């Protein structure tokens, strides 16, 4: 135990001295000379090594700690005696040794009960159920107008009756309950990720996308990012390009929760149909495989749509634009996937029918 402690403490001392050198060179370069900064770092290393020797038994390796501390101070002095450009580069490399903190902020399991989330869920469910009914109503009005123009009637025909919205209310309630269950399942997945995955990976999976877009835009907006770039468009697209990968990771748990909920409901529906004798076992397996393929295709399409929406929204305005882009891209991708699966199956050609 005593043999391992000096080496662990020496490693910790090395990181602390590197961080002190980075802080000294980054904050006080304009106020003090490089020699003064090096003396400060050397004094810190020497004092830390002296404290380290008092914490360990007085053996032959205690003198090694003192020499190690002065060697660090000498190395810092040698680095500071160089040009200011090399001093800034050494400070940036030393700052990279400092461990990054990942602040994970878990949402409540009942986060869907807030006023904003309830309104969004109700508006989405109402749009999915009421908009098709209104679309059919407007089509009837257009057909009546075309017939009146063909017959050259002076008076416009009366409008068709407004569709009854009462049958849509139970479906809206079911969609709202499904959204609430999906959000709760997502929060459960986030807690499982925090428990069983690394802190860095968990932070990436539950990252707030608008805040991440603002940070990336601020980080890559200046012209001095590593290497000077002459192309301004390329520099502006750096943050939106990074948001593609960030959105895919950030929406992974949400897509996983949606797929899990859809698969559970489909399994329950098929088991009920099998129990009632409405379908055979082979028909249920065929229908379940088709629904699973449809669910996975829709999930992949929504993830791609969310990433593209985040890219376009970040190009327009990082933050709010990112949030709107993700929502609109997800919705449009889901509608496109549903429209694709609603297409009728292709009919066989005449040659195939003749051959059969």
pLDDT digits (tens, 9 = 90+) for 242-276: 999 999 999 999 999 999 999 999 999 988 988 88
| Full-model pTM | 0.64
Q: Where is average pLDDT lowest: 61-70, 105-114, 182-191, 241-250?
A: 61-70
Measured at the CA of 334, the angle between CA 331 and CA 338, to 5 degrees, comes to 140
DSSP state of 113: G
Q: Are 251 and 326 in contact (CB under 8 A)?
A: yes
Residue 180: CB partners within 8 Å, gap ≥ 6? 112, 121
First to last CA, the chain: 83
Confidence of residue 282 (pLDDT cuts 50, 70, 90): confident
pLDDT digits (tens, 9 = 90+) for 195-252: 999 888 999 999 889 999 999 888 887 544 444 444 567 778 888 999 999 999 999 9
Can you tell me whether residue 16 is helix, strand or coil? helix
Contacts by 254-259 with C-beta closer than 8 Å and gap 24+? 254/186, 255/299, 255/302, 255/303, 256/186, 256/189, 257/182, 257/183, 257/185, 257/186, 257/189, 258/182, 258/299, 258/302, 259/295, 259/296, 259/299
Confidence of residue 150 (pLDDT cuts 50, 70, 90): confident
Residues 46 and 63: their CA atoms lie apart, in Å, by 12
pLDDT of residue 257: 95
Encode 71-104: b = buried (16+ Cβ within 10 Å), e = exposed. ebbebbbebbeeeeeebeebbeebeeeeeeeeee
Q: Are 225 and 239 in contact (CB under 8 A)?
A: no
pLDDT of residue 146: 83
Residue 97: CB partners within 8 Å, gap ≥ 6? 15, 18, 19, 22
pLDDT digits (tens, 9 = 90+) for 161-178: 888 888 889 999 999 999
Exposure on the CB side of residue 160, measured as CA atoms within 13 A: 15
pLDDT of residue 75: 47
Span 19-30, average pLDDT: 47
Residues 115 and 118: their CA atoms lie apart, in Å, by 5
pLDDT of residue 275: 87
Q: Are 42 and 70 in contact (CB under 8 A)?
A: yes
Which tokens belong to 49? 């090594």
pLDDT of residue 297: 94
φ/ψ of 348, rounded to 5, equals: -70, 150
336/45: higher pLDDT: 336
pLDDT digits (tens, 9 = 90+) for 70-105: 444 444 444 444 444 444 444 444 444 446 677 787
Residues 75 and 238: their CA atoms lie apart, in Å, by 37
Share of the chain above pLDDT 90, in %: 27
Residues 19 and 72: their CA atoms lie apart, in Å, by 12
Give me the residue spans of the domains in the chain. 4-95, 207-356
Can you tell me whether residue 2 is helix, strand or coil? coil
pLDDT of residue 242: 92
Which tokens belong to 85? 């450009």
7: pLDDT strictly greater than 50: no
Span 277-282, average pLDDT: 84
């Amino acid at each position: 135990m005593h043999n391992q402690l000096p080496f662990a403490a020496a490693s910790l001392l090395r990181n602390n001295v590197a961080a002190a050198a980075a802080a000294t060179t980054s904050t006080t370069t304009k106020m003090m000379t490089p020699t003064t900064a090096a003396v400060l770092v050397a004094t810190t290393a020497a004092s830390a090594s002296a404290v380290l020797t008092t914490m360990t038994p007085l053996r032959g390796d205690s003198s090694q700690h003192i020499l190690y501390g002065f060697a660090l101070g000498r190395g810092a002095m040698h680095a500071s005696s160089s040009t200011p450009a090399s001093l800034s580069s050494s400070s940036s490399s030393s700052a990279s040794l400092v461990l990054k903190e990942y602040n994970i902020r878990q949402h409540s399991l009942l986060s869907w009960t807030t006023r904003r989330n309830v309104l969004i869920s109700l508006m989405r469910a109402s749009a999915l159920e009421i908009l098709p009914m209104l679309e059919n109503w407007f089509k009837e009005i257009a057909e009546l107008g075309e017939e009146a123009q063909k017959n050259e009637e002076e008076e416009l025909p009366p409008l068709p009756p407004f569709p009854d919205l009462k049958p849509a209310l139970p479906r809206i309630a079911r969609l709202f309950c499904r959204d609430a269950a999906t959000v709760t399942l997502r929060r459960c997945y986030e807690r499982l990720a925090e428990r069983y995955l690394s802190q860095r990976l968990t932070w990436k999976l539950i990252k707030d996308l608008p805040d991440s877009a603002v940070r990336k835009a601020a980080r890559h907006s200046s012209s001095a990012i590593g290497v000077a770039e002459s192309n301004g468009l390329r520099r502006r697209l750096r943050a939106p390009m990074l948001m593609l990968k960030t959105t895919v990771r950030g929406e992974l748990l949400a897509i996983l929760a949606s797929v899990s909920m859809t698969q559970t409901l489909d399994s329950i529906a098929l088991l009920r149909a099998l129990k009632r004798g409405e379908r055979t076992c082979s028909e249920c397996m065929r229908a379940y495989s088709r629904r699973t393929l449809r669910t996975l295709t829709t999930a992949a399409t929504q993830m791609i749509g969310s990433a593209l929406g985040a890219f376009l929204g970040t190009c327009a305005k990082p933050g709010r634009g990112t949030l709107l882009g993700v929502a609109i891209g997800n919705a449009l991708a889901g509608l496109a996937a549903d429209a694709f699966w609603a297409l009728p199956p292709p009919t066989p050609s005449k040659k195939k029918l003749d051959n059969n």
